[in-house]
A and B are shown apart, each in its own frame.
Chain A
Amino acid sequence: MMDSLLRRIRPEQFREVILALVTLGVLLFFASQIPDYFNGRSVNRLTMGMAIPLTVAVGQVLVVLTRNIDLSVSSIVGLAAYATGTLLARNNDLNPFLAILFAIALGLILGALNGLLVAYGNVPSIIATLGTLALYRVALVEFSGAKTVTTSELPAWLDDVPGANVFSAGAYDLRVMFAAALVVVILGQLVLRYLPFGRRLYAIGSNPDAARFAGLPVRRDVLLAFTLCGGLSGLAGFMFLVRFGNITVTAAQGLELQVVAAVVVGGVSILGGSGSMIGALLGVLLIEVLQTSLLRWQGMSEFVKDAILGLLILIAVTADAVILGRLREMWVRVRRRDQEAARAAAGEGAIGG
Chain B
Amino acid sequence: MLRLASGHGYMLPLREGRRQAASEAMAPRHTASEDAMERAPAAANPDELRPVFEAEHISKSFGGTQALSDVSLTLYPGEIHALLGENGAGKSTLIKIMTGLQQPDAGELRIAGEDVRINSSQDAQRLGVAAIYQEPMIFPDLSVAENIFIGHTDRGAIVDRRAMERDARATLDRLGVSLDVGEPARGLTLAEQQTVEIAKAISLDVRVLIMDEPTASLSAHEVRQLFRIVTNLRQQGVAVCFISHRMEEVFEIADRVTILRDGRWISTQPRAEVTVASAIHGMVGREVVELFKRNRHEPGPVRLSVKNLHREGVFDGITFDLRAGEVLGFAGLVGARRTDVGLALFGIAPADAGEVELEGRDVHIENPRQAMELGIAYSTEDRRQLGLIMPMTIAENISLPSLPRFLGPGGFIDFAEEVSTAERFRKRLAIRSNSVETPAGSLSGGNQQKVLISKWLETNPKVLIVDEPTRGIDVGAKVEVHQLIDDLAAEGMAVIIISSDLPEVLAMSDRILVMREGRQMAIFAHGEATQEKVLSAAMGQSGDLFPDGSAAAAVAAELDRLVQGKGLEAGQ
Contact between chains at B446 and A194 (CB < 8 Å): no
Contact B442 A332 (CB under 8 A): yes
Within 8 A of A (CB), among B444-492: 444, 446-447, 455, 474, 476-477, 480
Contact partner of B446 among A212, A213, A215, A352, CB < 8 A?
A: A352
- B274 proximity list for chain A (CB < 8 A): none
Inter-chain contact B392/A203, CB cutoff 8 Å: yes
The stretch of A144-152, A157-165, A230-238, A335-343 that contacts the partner chain:
A335-343
Quote the shortest CB–CB distance from B402 to chain A (angstroms).
9
Find out whether the CB atom of A352 lies under 8 angstroms from the CB atom of B432. yes
Chain B residues lying within 8 Å of A211, measured Cβ to Cβ, are 389
Known: A196-B403, A352-B476. A203 touches B389 (CB 8 A): yes
B372 touches A215 (CB 8 A): yes
A351 touching B401 by the CB < 8 A rule?
no
Q: A207-B390, A210-B387, A213-B368 are in contact. Are A199 and B474 (CB under 8 A)?
A: no
Q: Is there a chain B Cβ closer than 8 Å to A302's Cβ?
A: no
How far is the CB of A339 from the nearest CB of chain B, in Å? Answer: 6
Q: Does A274 contact B (CB under 8 A)?
A: yes
A191 to B, closest residue via Cβ: B412
Q: A340 to chain B: closest CB distance in Å?
A: 10
A251 to chain B, nearest CB (A): 36
Bound form: Cα–Cα A76–B434 in Å: 48
**At the interface, yes or no: A179 with Cβ under 8 Å from chain B?**
no
In the bound complex, what is the Cα–Cα distance between A331 and B369 (angstroms)? 35
A215 to B433, CA, bound (A): 26
A195 contact set on B, CB distance < 8 A: 411-413
**What residue of chain B has the Cβ atom nearest to residue A353's Cβ?**
B444
Please name the residue on chain B nearest to A213 by beta carbon.
Answer: B386
* Chain B residues positioned under 8 Å from A142 (CB to CB): none
Q: Which of A199, A206, A209, A342 contacts B391 (CB 8 A)?
A: A206
Which of chain A's residues have a CB closer than 8 A to the CB of B430?
A: 352
**A residues in contact with B476, CB < 8 Å:** 351-353
Q: What is the bound-complex CA distance between A12 and B411, given in angstroms? A: 26
Known: A196-B404, A214-B400, A339-B433. A352 touches B390 (CB 8 A): no
Q: Return B56 CB to nearest CB of chain A, in Å.
A: 33
Asked if B438 is an interface residue, CB under 8 A from chain A, the answer is yes
CB contact between B455 and one of A214, A335, A343, A353 (< 8 Å): that residue: A214
- CB atoms of A210 and B396 under 8 A apart: no
A199 CA to B404 CA in the complex, in Å?
A: 11
Question: CB distance A196 to B413 under 8 Å?
Answer: yes
Query: How many A-B contacts are there with CB distance less than 8 Å?
Result: 95
A335 to B444, CA, bound (A): 12
Query: Which residues 1-50 in A have Cβ within 8 Å of B in the complex?
Result: 10, 12
Q: Is the CB of A209 within 8 A of B411?
A: no
Question: A194 near B442 (CB under 8 angstroms)?
Answer: no
Shortest Cβ gap from A291 to chain B (Å): 32
B480 contacts across to A, CB distance below 8 A: 352
Establish whether residues A210 and B386, one from each chain, have CB atoms under 8 Å apart when the complex forms: yes
Chain B residues with Cβ below 8 Å from A336 are: 442
Across the interface, which residues of B come within 8 angstroms of A352, CB to CB?
430, 432, 444, 446-447, 474, 476-477, 480
Q: Are A215 and B413 in contact (CB under 8 A)?
A: no
Contact of A339 with B432 in the complex, beta carbons under 8 Å: yes
> Knowing A214-B401, A352-B444 touch, does A206 contact B434 (C-beta < 8 A)?
no
Complex contacts, B439 vs chain A, CB 8 Å: 10
Find chain A residues with CB under 8 A from B380 CB. 213
A residues near B474, Cβ cutoff 8 Å: 351-353
> A202 near B: Cβ within 8 Å?
yes
- Answer yes or no: B441 CB below 8 A from chain A CBs: yes
Question: What chain A residues lie within 8 Å of B413 (beta carbons)?
Answer: 194-196, 199
Q: In the complex, what residue of chain B is closest to A346 when comparing beta carbons?
A: B432
B389 touching A207, Cβ below 8 Å: yes
Complex CA distance for A134 and B406, rounded to whole angstroms: 42
Interface: A200 (CB within 8 A) = yes
CB distance from B354 to the nearest CB of A (A): 22
Asked if A87 is at the interface of the complex by the 8 Å CB criterion, the answer is: no
Chain A residues in 8 Å Cβ range of B455 = 214
Q: Is the beta-carbon distance between B434 and A210 smaller than 8 angstroms?
A: no
Docked-complex contact B447 and A210, CB < 8 angstroms:
no
Please name all residues of chain B whose beta carbon is closer than 8 Å to the beta carbon of A338 when the two chains form the complex: 434
Q: B26 an interface residue at 8 Å Cβ cutoff?
A: no
Taking CB atoms, residues of chain A closer than 8 Å to B43 are none
Q: How far is the CA of A352 from the CA of B390 in the complex (A)?
A: 19
User: How many angstroms from the CA of A101 to the CA of B392 in the assembled complex?
Assistant: 36
Q: Is A254 an interface residue (CB 8 A)?
A: no
Query: Which B357-412 residues have a C-beta within 8 angstroms of A?
Result: 367-369, 371-372, 378, 380, 385-392, 396, 400-401, 403-404, 406-407, 411-412
Interface members, chain A 305-353 (any B CB < 8 Å): 331-332, 335-336, 338-339, 342-343, 348, 351-353
Most buried by B among A207, A209, A331: A207
Shortest beta-carbon distance from B371 to chain A in Å: 7
B348 interface residue, CB < 8 Å from A?
A: yes
Bound Cα distance from A343 to B378, whole angstroms:
31
Residues of chain B with a CB closer than 8 A to A274's CB: 391
What residues on A are CB-neighbors of B434 within 8 Å?
335, 338-339, 342
Q: Identify the closest chain B residue to A206 (Cβ).
A: B389
In the assembly, what is the distance between CA of A217 and CA of B347, in Å? Answer: 13
- Complexed CA–CA distance, A209 and B386 (Å): 6
Residue of A194, A207, A348, A353 touching B385 (CB-CB under 8 A): A207
Complex Cα–Cα for A21 and B40 (A): 75
How would residues 170 to 193 of chain A score, 1 for a CB under 8 Å from any chain B CB and 0 otherwise? 000000000000000000000000
Find chain B residues with CB under 8 A from A206 CB.
389-392
A residues near B348, Cβ cutoff 8 Å = 212-213
A216 to B371, CA, bound (A): 12
In the assembled complex, which residues on chain A have CB atoms less than 8 Å from the CB atom of B433?
Answer: 339
Report if A85 contacts B (CB, 8 A): no
Q: Min CB distance, A336 to chain B, in Å?
A: 7
Residues from chain B with a CB closer than 8 A to the CB of A200 are: 400, 403
A334's nearest neighbour on chain B, judged by CB, is B442
Please, how many angstroms separate the alpha-carbon atoms of A341 and B305 in the complex?
49
Q: Which residue of A lies closest to B403 (CB)?
A: A196
Q: Closest Cβ of chain B: how far from A194's Cβ, in Å? A: 4
Nearest CB on B from A246, distance (A): 42
How many Å from the CB of B238 to the closest CB on chain A? 40
Shortest CB distance B252–A (Å): 39
Q: Which chain B residue has the least Cβ–Cβ distance from A273?
A: B391
Q: Which residues of chain A come closer than 8 Å to B404, judged between CB atoms?
A: 196
Contact yes or no, B441 A332, CB < 8 A: yes
Q: What distance in Å separates the Cβ of B396 from its nearest Cβ neighbour in chain A? A: 7
A349: nearest chain-B partner, CB-CB: B476
Instruction: Please give, as numbers and ranges, the residues of chain B lying within 8 Å of A10 by CB-CB distance.
Output: 439
Alpha-carbon separation in the docked complex, A12 to B396 (Å): 16
Bound Cα distance from A202 to B392, whole angstroms: 9
CA distance A216 to B430 in the complex (A): 27
Bound-complex Cα distance A215 to B385 (A): 15
Specify which of B385, B390, B407, B477 is in contact with A196 (CB 8 Å cutoff): B407
Closest to A200 in B: B403
* Residues in chain A near residue B387, CB distance under 8 A: 210, 213
Given A199-B400, A215-B401, A335-B442, residue A209 in contact with residue B392 (CB < 8 A): no
By Cβ-Cβ distance, the 5 closest A-B pairs, closest first, are A215-B368, A351-B476, A196-B403, A194-B412, A215-B372
16 further A-B contacts with Cβ under 8 Å, apart from A200-B400, A212-B368, are: A10-B439, A194-B412, A194-B413, A195-B411, A202-B389, A210-B386, A210-B387, A213-B380, A215-B368, A215-B369, A216-B400, A273-B389, A273-B391, A342-B434, A351-B477, A353-B446
Listed by A's residue number, 10 A-B pairs whose Cβ atoms lie within 8 Å are A199-B403, A199-B413, A200-B400, A207-B385, A210-B389, A213-B387, A215-B401, A335-B434, A339-B434, A352-B476
